Structures are given as structure tokens and as C-alpha cells.
């Protein structure tokens, strides 16, 4: 399951990052690291981007990037 599959209010643990090294480093710098819990707060009207809650702050991630984040529900 990827982060893009979460529904509003659902929480999951980050399992693995996929994609190129530059994208992985950018996501890790934002706090997207293995084992951290992340939840979907809201989707934009057209579904992209989405606002997630992680480490006590809100983070906006495009669906394209969210599909590269594997999570465990």
C-alpha cells in the first residue's frame, strides 16, 4: 500500500521510500522516514495534492510523490 492509498483520517507507518535518490533525500529531509506514523488530513478538491500530518506538523505532498512512499496500515 502506498501513502496515496490512504483515506481521510487514516494513519499508517512509513515502511519504505522508492524512486530516485534525489526524491528520497528530499522526502527524508521533510521527516518522511521509516517507522514514523503519518496520517492523511485532507485532499485538495481535485484530489491532488494532499495534506498529511507527521511529527506534529502538516505537510503537503503531491500524489506523484506519495505513490513512492510504501506504508503499513
What is the structure's pLDDT at 36? 96
Torsion sign across C-alpha atoms 30, 34, 39, 44: positive
Write down the pLDDT at residue 15: 97
pLDDT of residue 47: 87
Q: How far apart are CA 18 and CA 27, in angstroms?
A: 10
What is the reported pTM? 0.90
The answer to whether 71 touches 6, Cβ cutoff 8 Å, is yes
DSSP state letter for 4: G
Task: Walk along the chain (73 residues) and give the pLDDT tens digit of each residue.
Answer: 999 999 999 999 999 999 999 999 999 999 999 999 999 999 999 989 999 999 999 999 999 999 999 999 8
Amino acid at each position: 500500500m502506498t501513502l496515496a492509498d490512504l483515506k481521510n483520517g487514516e494513519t499508517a507507518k512509513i515502511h519504505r521510500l522508492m524512486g530516485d535518490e534525489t526524491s528520497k533525500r528530499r522526502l527524508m529531509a521533510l521527516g518522511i522516514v521509516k517507522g514514523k506514523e503519518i496520517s492523511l488530513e485532507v485532499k485538495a478538491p481535485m484530489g491532488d495534492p494532499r495534506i498529511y500530518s507527521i511529527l506534529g506538523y502538516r505537510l503537503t505532498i503531491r500524489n506523484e510523490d506519495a505513490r513512492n512512499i510504501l506504508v503499513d496500515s
